[in-house]
Structures are given as structure tokens and as C-alpha cells.
Amino acid sequence: MSTGTLITVAPTGAEHSKADVPNLPVTLEELVETARDCERVGAAMIHIHIRDDDARPTLDIKRLTDTVAAVREQTSLIVQLSTGGSVTDPEEDRLRVLDAMPDSASCSMGTVNFGDDVFMNRWGFIVELHKRMQERGILPEYEIFDLGQLTTLHRLLDKHGLPSGGHVHVDLVMGVPGGMAGDTETLAAALRLIPEGATFSATGVGRATLPVLFGALSAGGHVRVGMEDTVNYARGERVKDNAQLVARASGLARIAQRPPVTPDEARTLLGVAARPSASA
Ligand code: KMH
Ligand code: ZN
């Protein structure tokens, strides 16, 4: 287990409101500042959801394009856009996200109950996302909310081929109310189903944050942390900012003798093309 740890930060998400979580980064300026802070303490990739002027989730393509450009200009991070958006976003808006040409984009592998809501991901939609990313050279991060979605991933790759760079990267999103549990037993079960040669990261939502973080590090996996997934640092203690969560993950990765990889090392690991120049 000699490789380092890819730390992805998911700073905003679509679920928390700014009113409830005032330190959530929602403007472009807040997002870029967060990205810089998180890179400084060990993040190599950023998973982005954006908000409108009223801090509500949006998939506005101009804002997304400007966001990709600004984060690229101010950091070396691998820029991943969410195609999941929020549970109410229509499929065509979610597909259009790819027009902003991020390095990577999420690609969820199935429908799941999501708290009181339903996060819809039809087979036909999954195939369309996968193919469009293949055509454009965008790295998919296959988001797995439940074990059966790993079966869907195998079906997708068997029927429609590997992503354009040839590398498969999976993120296990564990502990969503309605999805798989965020514990060691479930993580171990998921690992047996991950395609051969794939890399994986794991994300524990809410109280699952720490068990999943420790489990992923011990299993040779990578990790995603951030305020999209948890706004509590400890019992009764709110997260100060995203960098606090990244710094904790970096410290634990070092203790595990698997220190954080740089964004350039992460590009090599994931088969993502070299960083586009800011003017490109
Ligand atoms: N906001 C969730 C409904 C993704 O980013 O692709 C979906 C989500 C997954 O966060
Ligand atoms: Zn997300």
C-alpha cells in the first residue's frame, strides 16, 4: 500500500441552505477562496456545485463555465463538476453541465432515495452521460450510493466501454439516508465489487464521515471530504470551514503513511490530461 491519497473536497453541495449554514461557500469568490485554502492543505480535486445570486442551487451554464475558468486560474486542482445537481434538476440541464468542459464530472450509477426525496438516475440517462464524457475526454467519477449500483457500473463498462482516458474512478457515497450504510462492513462489501484496476474514493455523509474516512485509508482508497457531506466536525461542533475537513483528512493520510498526492500526481493517477492553460 505505497500510493498516496487523493483528497477531493466537496465544499458546497446542493442540499444545505446558506441560511442554515452561513459559512457555506456559495459565491464564486467564496468558492475560489475555499479552493485555494483546500489545495494548500492537501486537496487535489474539487467537486463543485454552484449557487445563484440568491444562494440557491443552479446549473446555469455560463456560471458553470466561469467557475471552471476561475478555479483553473487560481488553483491547480482537478476541476470536477457535479452532474447530479439537486434532486429537482431536469436531465437536459444535468447533461448540459458537460458543455462547461471540466476535467471531470460526476456520473451517478442509479436512482436512490435521498432523505425525503428521490435522486433519479435512469439507465438511459446514465448511458448518455457516460457517452458524452467519452466523446469529450472528461473523466467520469462514478458515484455509487448503493451496492447494486456497482453492478450497474459493470454493465455500463461492458456495454459501452471504458472512459476516454481508459481509467475507471469510483466514489462510494456512504451514509445517505436511503442508500448504503457508512460502515466498515459495507465498505468491505463494496470493495469486492469495484472493477479491477479501478481507483476508488469514499465519502461518508454526516455521522459516517469518520468511519468511512478511516476505512478508506486503511483499504488503500482515496477520500472525499467537505461541507457537501458534513457540516459537523465533531459531536456538537460545527465545521469551521472546508479547509478544516481537508486538513484533518491530510493529517490522517500522513499518519496512515499515505500522504496526500498533489494535483499533478492525481492527474497521473486518474489519467486526466495535463492542466489546460488558464487562457485555453
Ligand atoms: N445533490 C445530490 C442530489 C453529484 O454531485 O453528482 C446529488 C449529488 C451527486 O450531489
Ligand atoms: Zn455532489
User: In CATH, what number is assigned to the domain containing residue 83?
Assistant: 3.20.20.70
- 60 touches 31 (CB < 8 A): no
Cα separation of 65 and 33, whole Å?
17
User: Per-residue confidence at 277, pLDDT binned at 50, 70, 90?
Assistant: low
Q: What is the pLDDT of residues 262-272, one digit of tens each?
A: 999 999 999 99
208: domain range? 7-270
User: Per-residue confidence at 177, pLDDT binned at 50, 70, 90?
Assistant: very high
* Ligand 1, CB cutoff 6 Å, lining residues: 13-14, 82-84, 86-87, 106, 108, 114, 119, 143
* 120 belongs to a structural domain: yes
116 has a pLDDT exceeding 60: yes
- For 116, residues 6+ apart whose C-beta sits below 8 A from its C-beta are none
21 has a pLDDT exceeding 60: yes
Rounded to the nearest 10°, the torsion over CA 199, 148, 138, 200 is: -20
Give residue for cell 467557475. Answer: 67
Q: Backbone phi, then psi, for 143, in 5-degree steps?
A: -90, 125
1 has a pLDDT exceeding 50: no
Ligand 1 center to 16 CA (angstroms): 12
* 43 belongs to a structural domain: yes
Ligand 2 center to 155 CA (angstroms): 23
* 206 belongs to a structural domain: yes
* 1 belongs to a structural domain: no
Ligand 1, residue 85: give the atom nearest the CA.
1
* 280 belongs to a structural domain: no
159 has a pLDDT exceeding 80: yes
Mean pLDDT throughout 108-114?
98
Q: How many domains does the chain contain in total?
A: 1
Q: What is the pLDDT of residues 213-233, one digit of tens each?
A: 999 999 999 999 999 999 999
% of residues, the chain, pLDDT over 70 = 98
Mean pLDDT throughout 10-28?
98
* 49 belongs to a structural domain: yes
pLDDT at site 172:
99
* 38 belongs to a structural domain: yes
Q: Provide the mean pLDDT of the chain.
A: 97
Q: Which of 82, 117, 224, 227 to mutate for ligand 1's pocket (most ligand atoms within 8 Å of CB)? A: 82
* 2 belongs to a structural domain: no
pLDDT at site 275:
74
C-alpha cell at 32: 475560489
